[in-house]
Structure 1
């Protein structure tokens, strides 16, 4: 068992939330029980995840995508009202970390992806969220696509633009396709993100870089899962990752 306020304070410090100018509040978003014995982790605080947490008798939900985004209407109505009502009725804490969970050097989505793809991190200092890494040796692009697809358990979209052999890889989880400019500046052979835009096809072809759209959800599962595992190891709190499949 751990006090909610103590867990949130620990996570805020671990993830260094003060470093980020984010689009939503990081930390405790909806207050529930004062004590936490069981946590459900997931990518997005959807109604389905809330219902799964209720069934699991969780005291808290820890996610990457929470609520109260700057661009959304302020009213607690419709689906938002149903979600928050369910949390309050069952006294469940909602804890969310967005950019801090993308950028953390150990538990972050990007750090976990680099580990998954066996990349040596060579990111220049003070580079923001985008990572740069190297494979142990040059391999055919086809083989690297297979590695990414198999590791994320989904077929990735490949926009060709580079050489047959690749070694230098840049990546950033989620909807970070616009950061392809940074990958091009670094001279990467491949840039990977979760989503894709119309202009990405032309940039890849014209700038000689392969682009892989690997899925917003798929590229952001690992961070919150690894953070939950860390909480379990450090505090002995049961943390159960529940994946709600999402094709996007």
Structure 2
């Protein structure tokens, strides 16, 4: 497979944020794996789309299949080592935006809840205060609605499904999350009074976990310059926010 051009990547919904001889930063769409599925290698994945014999691509961090947003890849072994060291030292900064069901008790807070793999459900994580790995997420409410809340989450650690578990355990399961929430797609009829069904069945505004990697800050592996990359909210999450603001009584957080 030949290395895809920026135009070809955009046609697949993958946006190129920045590229040089050391790194490639992308805006990953929802629905695309980062690495091949261990049980089904035929599933489309980012590395499979990008790589050929040259250049090599090195994964530094991951996003869940349904999570959209910023992801950075290394193009050399030296860049890989530098970025890996930054992530392991927790010197990078990650900001996610999520649309959640329920209510936040406070406008901001820190969720300190160790996590471990579920013993009976493959791929699922669970709170484990005794044997779990340290997992810390800070959050800030951006907007409140009737039955929903828009949240900014900043993971201090990088555990699998960390934000999803932490928000769900705090009474704010992410919209569309079938593993830690109800998995129900977001439909306009759920919030718009007097919604009238048309001739065709209603199409959901969002059919995936409403979680987006919005900002990533790190130091360039060659120059040492601090970089902050931003991936704007994708269309489906923008549509949900517009609908909530129009039909679900938007209320700013108290400290905004």
TM (norm. structure 1) is: 0.35
Select the structure that is richer in strand.
2
More helix by share: 1
Q: Relative CO higher for 1 or 2, CA cutoff 8 Å, sep ≥ 6? A: 1
